Structure formats: structure tokens, C-alpha cells
């Protein structure tokens, strides 16, 4: 069963990006295909520190790295903080770019998709090239798909923590289609 890891670049519980991730999760769960879907919490990543890395890291950090290393796809929803990704997202990507088990970094070769959301009308679209560049520098493999930037996302967030606006759901469903297409075209032995 393909493993998909979802990550919100904002650690605020009621963030726009958490709503995007919850909506993507719901769309994945509504598919006929079976996926193992988990969420990666960026709260458990300490500030990047090579001394801590040399000491073996923390149990939470090691678990997070193992979670991403075992994924077939990573989907990230990034906020735009002054046009750049959040510090917690950048910090997590720094950790995930470092070798883990079998001397392979969890992000190395990992198929990845980036979406963004913000309270503003542009939806943080200006952050996506920066996140993609960081992911490329980390060795991730970006899945080709239409860019999705969810504007006015706080207003669109329902009390249940998802987005139900039809145009946004359609755009996110297109992103999920791209992920499903990638997984269908990738033999599971090679994706694991």
C-alpha cells in the first residue's frame, strides 16, 4: 500500500495550511485506491544542530525521519512568511536532507508536491518557487502538477478544519490526481 506523508508548514492548529492538509487527506481517503496516509508534525524537529545530530538526535526526530524515509510521496502545504517558507518548515527540511538509515537522506529521491495557502488573495504562490528550490537542493523529486495556491484560506476554513469551497477542492483534487498518477506509474518495489 503506497505511503503518503502530509506536512503543514505552519504549526498553528487552526492554520490555513493545516486546513489544506486536512482537505487533501479527506480527498485521498475518498479515493478507490488504498493509501496509508500520515501527517508529519513539524513540532518535533529541534533547531538544526550538528552536535545533536552527532549525538544521535532525539527519539521524536528519529521517528519523524523514519516516517518520511518510508514514504512513497510527501505533500507539503507551505505558508508564505514575508514571501518565504516558515522557519519550522525550512528547519524540518534541513533535518530531512541529512543522512539517516542506510546513509540515505529521507528526502533523497522522494517524490514531493508543494501547495501553499495564506489569508491573502494570492495564496502564498510566491513561496512555492522557494520551497521547490530548497527541496531540489535536498535531493527531492518534484512531481509535475498544476500549482495550487489557496487564497483567503482562513475565511474558507470550516469549523471542522477543512476547506469545502468547490474551486479549491477541485484544484486540490487535481493535485491528488497527479500524486495518484505518479504512484500508479511507479512500481511499488521501486517506490519503497
* Residue 31 pLDDT greater than 50, yes or no: yes
Could you tell me the CA-to-CA distances from 60 to 52, 56, 64, 70, 76 in Å, in that order?
Answer: 13, 11, 6, 15, 19
Q: 3-state DSSP call for residue 140?
A: coil
pLDDT digits (tens, 9 = 90+) for 87-122: 999 999 999 999 866 678 999 999 999 999 999 999
What helix, strand, coil percent values describe the chain, rounded to 5?
A: 45, 15, 40
Residue whose C-alpha cell is 468547490: 166
pTM: 0.94
- Can you give the pLDDT at residue 192? 44
State mean pLDDT over 132-136: 97
Task: Output the 3-class SS for 103-119.
Answer: HCCCCCCCEEEEEEECC
> Where does the pLDDT of residue 191 fall: very low under 50, low under 70, confident under 90, or very high at 90 and above?
very low
Whats the size of the chain, residue-wise?
192
- Can you give the pLDDT at residue 33? 85
Task: Report the C-alpha gap between 73 and 179 in whole angstroms.
Answer: 8
Amino acid at each position: 500500500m503506497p505511503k503518503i506523508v502530509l506536512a503543514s508548514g505552519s504549526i498553528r492548529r487552526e492554520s490555513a495550511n493545516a486546513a489544506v492538509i486536512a482537505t487533501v487527506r479527506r480527498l485521498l481517503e475518498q479515493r478507490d485506491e488504498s493509501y496509508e496516509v500520515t501527517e508529519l508534525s513539524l513540532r518535533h524537529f529541534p533547531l538544526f544542530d550538528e552536535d545533536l545530530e552527532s549525538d544521535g538526535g532525539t527519539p521524536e526526530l528519529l521517528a519523524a525521519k523514519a516516517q518520511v524515509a518510508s514514504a512513497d510521496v510527501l505533500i507539503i502545504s507551505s505558508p508564505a512568511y514575508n514571501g518565504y517558507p516558515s522557519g519550522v518548515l525550512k528547519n524540518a527540511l534541513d533535518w530531512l536532507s541529512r543522512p539517516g538509515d542506510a546513509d540515505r537522506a529521507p528526502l533523497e529521491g522522494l517524490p514531493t508536491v508543494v501547495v501553499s495557502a495564506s489569508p491573502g488573495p494570492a495564496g502564498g504562490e510566491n513561496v512555492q518557487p522557494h520551497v521547490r528550490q530548497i527541496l531540489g537542493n535536498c535531493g527531492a523529486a518534484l512531481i509535475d502538477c498544476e500549482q495550487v495556491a489557496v487564497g483567503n484560506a482562513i475565511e474558507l476554513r470550516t469549523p471542522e478544519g477543512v476547506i469545502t469551497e468547490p474551486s479549491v477542492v477541485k484544484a486540490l483534487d487535481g493535485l491528488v490526481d497527479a500524486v495518484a498518477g505518479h504512484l500508479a506509474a511507479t512500481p511499488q518495489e521501486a517506490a519503497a
